[in-house]
Amino acid sequence: MSGINVRSSVAAGAAAALGLVAGGLAYASMWPTSQFFGRTLVAGSDPDELALTFDDGPNDAATPMLLEALARHQVRATFFIIGSFARQRPEIVRRVAAEGHLIGNHTMTHPRLALEPARKVRQELVDCSAVLEDLNRAPVRYFRPPFGSRRPIVLQLARELSLIPVTWNVTCHDWKPIGSEGILQRMSAGVERNRARGRGSSILLHDGSHRAMGMYRMDTVHAVEQVLEAQPGRRWVTLDAWSEPR
């Protein structure tokens, strides 16, 4: 074998290794259950405990309909709210809080925090908590990074602000056009997978969209109505039942 071939194969090997490292870091910064960049709260250890979590609201149509469905079944859920939307629809946020649901910080403008400088990350968290605390008159304790995007400084800044970083372990893909049946299939598959592993389920859904106020979320609403009807005995909890990363 010639020296040139040896060098090129070494170079190719190094490039492949770098690719793996880069891929692994991207995975760690986005994958919801990864703990590589710091501890995040995922779910509890009781497989019978399930949490419905809604991101990207408030939303004119979907949030009130979800609140009605949750009230009918006396279920409390967790809402990760975008601060700029909360400013536009303060009455919906007040209603979410007044009806006993848990409110969390989902940043002010929904950026990918892993790509933002520390100063901007801090401002996004501070501003969103300020809006929510002004409306709710209670401290905000939980924070979910938009897109699950994070790196060590994001989690460190959140903790400095007394916010517990939260991800999820059931992805329902309700931002895709899969209908309420598709959402329900993914939800039950995720819950069963967690059950097999002896884990509770934190279910990611969306009552809004970061792209605009008022986006269509009726498939999510119908999926939630159906799951609450179909499974009345489920133990639905809010994230404060699990409190700390484990």
Size of the site for Zn ion (CB under 5 A): 3
Question: By CB under 5 A, which span of 61-69, 93-101, 142-150, 216-224 interacts with Zn ion?
Answer: 142-150
Taking the complex as a whole, the smallest distance from the CB of residue 133 to Zn ion amounts, in Å, to 20
Taking the complex as a whole, the smallest distance from the CB of residue 210 to Zn ion amounts, in Å, to 5
Q: How far is CA 98 from the centre of its chain?
A: 22
Taking the complex as a whole, the smallest distance from the CB of residue 204 to Zn ion amounts, in Å, to 9
What six digits make up the tokens of 203? 């279910």
The position carrying tokens 């809604």 is 54
Taking the complex as a whole, the smallest distance from the CB of residue 217 to Zn ion amounts, in Å, to 12
- Specify the residue, 47 or 80, whose C-beta has the smaller distance to Zn ion: 80
| Residue nearest to Zn ion according to CB distances in the complex | 55
Closest CA to 36 of 45, 53, 23, 54: 23
Q: Which of residues 54-83 bind Zn ion (CB under 5 A)?
A: 55-56
Is 55 assigned a catalytic role? yes
Closest CA to 50 of 192, 148, 220, 207: 192
Cα–Cα distance for residue pair 124/72, rounded to 1 Å: 34
The dihedral over CA atoms of 60, 66, 67, 73, expressed in degrees to the nearest 10, equals 170
Taking the complex as a whole, the smallest distance from the CB of residue 206 to Zn ion amounts, in Å, to 7
Question: By CB under 5 A, which span of 51-59, 92-100, 150-158, 174-182 interacts with Zn ion?
Answer: 51-59
- Specify the residue, 47 or 146, whose C-beta has the smaller distance to Zn ion: 146
How does DSSP assign 116-154, residue by residue? S-HHHHHHHHHHHHHHHHHHHSS---EE--GGG---HHH
- Specify the residue, 47 or 217, whose C-beta has the smaller distance to Zn ion: 217
Is 206 assigned a catalytic role? yes
Question: By CB under 5 A, which span of 47-55, 133-141, 167-175, 223-231 interacts with Zn ion?
Answer: 47-55
Please compute, for residue 159, the number of CA atoms within 13 A of its CA located in the half-sphere on the CB side: 12
Q: How far is CA 175 from the centre of its chain?
A: 13
Give me the residues paired with residue 58 across strands: none
Cα–Cα distance for residue pair 148/154, rounded to 1 Å: 11
Single out the residue of 38, 57, 58, 146 in contact with Zn ion (rule: CB under 5 A).
146
Question: By CB under 5 A, which span of 24-32, 49-57, 112-120, 176-184 interacts with Zn ion?
Answer: 49-57
- Specify the residue, 32 or 146, whose C-beta has the smaller distance to Zn ion: 146
- Specify the residue, 56 or 116, whose C-beta has the smaller distance to Zn ion: 56
206, 207, 210, 219: which one is catalytic? 206
Cα–Cα distance for residue pair 49/101, rounded to 1 Å: 16
Query: So which residues are the catalytic ones?
Result: 55, 206
Binding site for Zn ion (CB under 5 A): 55-56, 146
